[in-house]
Amino acid sequence: MRRIVIGITSLEQHIEAVKANPEHYRPRCCPHCGIKLLWRHGHYERKAGRQLEQRSLNPVPICRYLCSGCQRTCSRLPECIAPRRWYDWSVQQEALKPRLKGCSAGHRADYGGPDERTVDRWWQWLKARSDLFEFHLRARFAELGRAAGFDALWRQVFASLGLARAMAILDHELSVP
């Protein structure tokens, strides 16, 4: 299931797209039963801007769709919002960066950022799933072939694709996070 819409990289862009082109968010088929007939079904609101400068954008609307077969609802998120995570991908990337060997420190949120326990959880998640992520990313991006080992690979992913885009791409094959 493609739960993440690639290319919508900021909350501002997302809010604009929901207004101007909500079709963009329509899933191709129902993630529950596979039927391809989905109706617009309003939206729900989600808090997404955790950083200070984004907070005024909260809550952001997420388009909802109703399946004509099983009557369940589904929705898709823009690339900038992480499914099932409180913090968006860019915050996760900046928090994880200093843990990678050879990476310059990421800029930390001055306040309201994730605590160390949360960052630990993300770090354990990345380590646990890295082999699988790596397999799919290397198959797609030949230039990652030169990065040897966990630290080098993720340094390069962060510097080139960025965590948000990498996860949006991976979400086509697997379920992240």
30 binds Zn ion (CB under 5 A): yes
33 binds Zn ion (CB under 5 A): yes
67 binds Zn ion (CB under 5 A): yes
CB of 69 or CB of 162, closer to Zn ion = 69
Q: Which of 24, 26, 32, 129 binds Zn ion (CB under 5 A)?
A: 32
Angle between helices 116-140 and 163-170 (to 10 degrees): 60
The secondary element (H helix, E strand) that includes residue 74 is strand 73-74
DSSP string, 32-65: TT--S-EEEEEEEEE----SGGGGGGPSEEEEEE
CB of 69 or CB of 113, closer to Zn ion = 69
State the nearest-atom distance from the C-beta of 50 to Zn ion, in Å: 32
69 binds Zn ion (CB under 5 A): yes
Cβ neighbours for 164, distance < 8 A, ≥ 6 positions apart: 9, 79, 80, 82, 88, 89, 90, 93
CB of 41 or CB of 99, closer to Zn ion = 41
Burial of 141 (0-12, 13-18, 19+ CB in 10 A): middle
Interface with Zn ion (CB under 5 A), residue total 7
* Candidate ranges 29-37, 46-54, 102-110, 155-163; the one touching Zn ion (CB under 5 A): 29-37
Q: How far is CA 37 from the centre of its chain?
A: 25
State the nearest-atom distance from the C-beta of 36 to Zn ion, in Å: 10
70 binds Zn ion (CB under 5 A): yes
CB of 27 or CB of 106, closer to Zn ion = 27
Burial of 4 (0-12, 13-18, 19+ CB in 10 A): buried
**Which residues would be at the binding site for Zn ion (CB under 5 A)?**
30, 32-33, 35, 67, 69-70
